[in-house]
Each structure stands twice: as C-alpha cells, then as structure tokens.
Amino acid sequence: MYNRSPEEEKAFVDLLVSHQGMISAYIISLLPGASETEDVIQNTNEVLWSKRDTFELGTNFKAWALTTARFQAMSYQSKLRSMKQTPLDDDVMNIVAAALDDMESQSMSDQLSDLNQCIGLLQIKDQELVLHRYWKKSGLADYSKATGRSISSLKSALFRVRTSLRDCMERKEQLREELA
C-alpha cells in the first residue's frame, strides 16, 4: 500500500469533498426515484476512500469518481434484479451515463442553477410535486393520499412537469451557447 504524505491525503480529501454534489447528482440521475440513493452515494464514497491509493493526484478525479459511482449504481441495479424488482436496464443506464458525461461543457453548478430557476417558474402545486417526488423520495401513493389527487393524474402531471423542465433547461443552454 502506498503511503501518502499528509499534504497528499488533504489534497485527496479536498477533491472528494469538492466533488460531492456532482457525485450525488450523477447517482440520483442514474437511479431516478430510487429510495436508496443515499446508500449508493455512501457506498461510492467508501469505495473512493478505500481505493484512494490507486488514484494518481493530478489526473482526472471527476472521471475516476463518476466511473466508480456508475459501477456502484449498476451494482445496486443488480441487487434490485436479484430481488425481482425492475430497475433500469443496464443499456439504458449506460446511455444515461454517457449523456451525463457529454454534459461536461456546462458546469454542474450552472445546470443546478438553471434547474432551480426552471423549477421556480413552475406553478406552486407542480413545485410541491417535484419536491415531494425527487427530494423527499416518497411514492406517489403517499402524495396521492395527502393531496386527494389520483395517482394517474400525478403521473400525468409529473410527465408534463418533466417535459416543461427539460424544455426550460434546453432553452437556457441554447441561450448560454448564443451568448458564448
């Protein structure tokens, strides 16, 4: 095992901490609606820490960390399959991961800022639906009971909201490209 100097250990910790938001967002995007995303994030951090001696400082930490995150997400998907639950197909996950990798041209903080602005443009009831579904990570059945809306209407609303958010994000990206 390679012994790093205290400065090298600190540099690794700084990289790990500064990339937490990106790692979390990446895993959440690979496992939409999964209730155990926090566990997958934690497992990813544990693997990154345990394999820190294999990472060469000065190389692409982001690529290394996101590759590790992808493998952890795929491991979680395998676990779901063995429990007879229906996760995303590996091919779909790889397509999503490749698309996320292609987004390097726009920084993650810009994307998150754009997303927050787009969410702010939604009607209050749609903002609450997004908050409930993606941040509180509970099922539509619970939200249906709490709001008195049918599950099918919530599914339709989520589809409409996701379409609206995607269109808003695309407009913001196009505007950013035109201004560049």
The CATH class that applies to domain 107-180 reads mainly alpha
Q: What tens digit of pLDDT does each residue of 47-89 get?
A: 999 999 899 988 999 999 999 999 998 888 878 767 665 445 5
Residue ranges matching CATH 1.10.1740.10 in the chain: 1-105
* Burial of residue 16, with CB atoms counted within 10 A of its CB: 0-12 exposed, 13-18 middle, 19 or more buried: middle
What confidence tens digit (pLDDT) does each residue in 3-27 have?
778 888 899 999 999 898 889 888 8
CA 11, chain centre distance (Å): 24
Indicate if the pLDDT at residue 1 is higher than 60.
no
pLDDT at residue 115 in the model: 80
Alpha carbon 125 to chain centroid, angstroms: 23
pLDDT at 172: 86
Residue 76 is predicted with a pLDDT of 86
* Closest CA relative to residue 90, chosen from 102, 103, 110, 76: 76
Q: What is the pLDDT of residues 90-127, one digit of tens each?
A: 666 566 666 666 555 456 667 777 887 888 888 989 88
CA-closest candidate to residue 49, choices 91, 16, 82: 16
Distances (CA, A) of 23 to 45, 73, 139: 9, 11, 24
Find the DSSP H helices in the chain: 6-18, 20-30, 37-50, 61-82, 90-102, 108-121, 124-130, 140-147, 151-179
Rounded to an integer, what distance in angstroms lies between the CA atom of residue 29 and that of residue 102? Answer: 14
First to last CA, the chain: 46
Q: Where in the chain is the domain with CATH 1.10.10.10?
A: 107-180
DSSP state of 131: I
Multiple choice CATH, 1-105, 1.20.1730.10, 3.30.930.10, 1.10.1740.10, 1.10.1200.10: 1.10.1740.10
What are the φ/ψ torsions at residue 90 (nearest 5 degrees)?
-55, -40
At 80 the pLDDT is 72
